[in-house]
A and B are shown apart, each in its own frame.
Chain A
Amino acid sequence: MNPILSVEGVTAGYGRVTVLHDISLEAGRFGNVGLFGPNGHGKTTLLRAISGLLQPKSGRILFDGQDIVGHSARAIVGAGLIHVPQGNRLFPDLSIADCMALGAYSPRARPHEAENREKVIKLFPKLAERWRQRVRTLSGGERQMVSIGTALMSHPRLLILDEPTLGLAPKIKDELCASVMDISRGGVPLIVVEQDIEFLLELTQQLYLVNHGAVATEIKPGESLDHGEIMSMYFGH
């Protein structure tokens, strides 16, 4: 299978600070992709570059074979590459219903709005109970559900999740992990940044350790490591 996304030699950063140094990786060849690594080493920055929120200084990002560097975030959403950002800040004063309507804003997603809404409600029945409630009044777990639900409303061809379980209580976290597994089983390929290695090992087929803005190690299917080995890679640097 061809990779749905390939990042080729991307360098990017903020102002004069370079965060990503000639980073390359591929997604969709073997299934879901997991990114992990210490905080502050550029995982979020990479995702922002992929979704068009940040312009790389150099390199190519191919989505479905087409270079999307320089495309607007709107065009990238329009092509079906959907990014759920870290920290579920969302739209604090909009209702869940409003968020779902926004998710279906792009012309590509609009025709599937009703069908996708059904899917989201089936996946997160809790949201239906609070449909008219403002996002700011929801719990962290519920906000994360709204974030992911909004992304599903965008009819993703590739879904990128940035630390979806960050800061959630263990029970809520398990529920959310199960939902993410469901999404994957529904046929949407995923790129997931996570600190929880167990969850990544269960969810993904290919792992990248991101360190100092570059790929330090790639773990392909068949080379599956155990938790201990990964932890030593993590802290060995």
Chain B
Amino acid sequence: MSALAEILFGGLFQGSLYAMMAVGLALVWTTIGVFNFSHGVFMMLGAYIAWQLVELGLPAAVAFPIAVVVMAGVGWILQASVVRPLIGRPNIVLVVVITTLAAGSLIENGALTIWGPRSKQIPALIAGNTTIGGVGVSLHQIAIIVITPLILAALWMFLNRTRLGLALRAVAQNEDASHLVGLNVTALYGLAFAIAASLAGLAGIFMGGYRFMSPVMGSDPLLKALIVVVFGGISSISGPIFAAYLIGFFEAACSYYFGLYWTPALLFGVLILTLMVRPEGIFASRSRGLA
């Protein structure tokens, strides 16, 4: 019983964080067709901005939403400075890998200079602990498990039930045709980055509430998000969401039965096998597009 509870809980929790990160990566890929390697830095920056605002005396309930909104602006600015000028160039995918890596490293070192290397922590969403099925868990983690699906559902509703969401899905599928119905393609690109950065920042706030923060805290989640997105298929946002939870459960089960040490090796083993059988990812359809 407690084994199952532990795996279930661990999987839901890790899956939530991975989904939150991966969805932003997928959103940017499907709309603009580039991989954003500063996505992990967005996560870190969101956490540090939240920490700073709390440090300045704001209550968490005010500080966290402000940090998320500030991250939207950061995402927009990053897009306008290192992605937009390159759109239409040949090799844009590779070039943007380099420019976003460079921007990310700049921001990371900026954070190190401003905030120093000492580990920090931000307040939990809800303080305290409880036991479920014989497993001790923090209320913070439970809050994350509950809030994440709500946010992902809201994102899905936005993309599928609003005119602006429709415009984002359209840009993801055909840029010329989007111009020809009068969409502001540049603004939609900015919006995709802004949403992705906000979600990453929120993931950072989630993480900073139960683990010590450092300027490099985003690199491992970025790697995981990439795995999730490759595994789930980059052609939609629902694929990566399912894949995120699947990988969350897989990791939880592995570390329960084989130990934390073996988990990454097993994960990569499964990933490689999957890609040999289905190179487009397990949940992917043939084309690029948001749904």
Residues of A at the B interface (CB closer than 8 Å) are: 51-53, 73-74, 77-78, 82-85, 89-94, 98, 101-103, 105-106, 109, 136, 150, 154
Contact = CB atoms under 8 A, between A and B. Distances in A.
A93 B179 contact: no
Interface string B169-190: 1100110110111111100000
A74 B184 contact: yes
A92 B173 CA distance: 7
Interface of B: 163, 166-167, 169-170, 173-174, 176-177, 179-185, 285, 287, 289, 291
Contacts of B170: 91, 94, 98, 102
Contacts, number: 71
Given A102-B183, A154-B182, A90 B177 contact: yes
Contacts of A82: 180
Contact of A73 (B169, B180, B287): B180
6 contacts: A74-B179, A78-B182, A85-B180, A91-B169, A92-B173, A105-B181
A53 B177 contact: no
A105 B180 contact: no
B236 to A, nearest CB: 9
Given A92-B289, A101-B163, A154 B173 contact: no
A92 B291 CA distance: 12
Q: Give the interface centre of A83, A93, A150, A154 by most chain B CB atoms within 10 Å.
A: A93
Given A52-B179, A93-B173, 15 more contacts: A51-B180, A53-B176, A74-B179, A77-B181, A84-B180, A85-B177, A85-B180, A90-B177, A91-B173, A91-B174, A93-B289, A102-B167, A102-B170, A105-B183, A154-B182
> Majority SS of interface residues in chain B?
helix
Contact of B181 (A92, A136, A150): A150
A89 B181 contact: no
A43 B232 CA distance: 42
A93 B182 contact: no
B169 A53 contact: no
Given A101-B163, A101-B166, A102-B167, A91 B177 contact: yes
B251 to A, nearest CB: 31
Nearest to B175: A53
A92 B285 CA distance: 12
A90 B174 contact: yes
B178 to A, nearest CB: 8
B179 A89 contact: no
A92 B183 contact: no
A85 B177 CA distance: 8
Contacts of B179: 51-53, 73-74, 77
A90 B287 CA distance: 13
B147 to A, nearest CB: 29
A101 B184 CA distance: 15
Contacts of A102: 166-167, 170, 181, 183
A164 to B, nearest CB: 14
B177 A154 contact: no
Interface pairs A-B: 10 shortest CB-CB: A77-B182, A73-B179, A106-B182, A93-B289, A91-B173, A102-B181, A74-B182, A91-B170, A105-B181, A91-B174
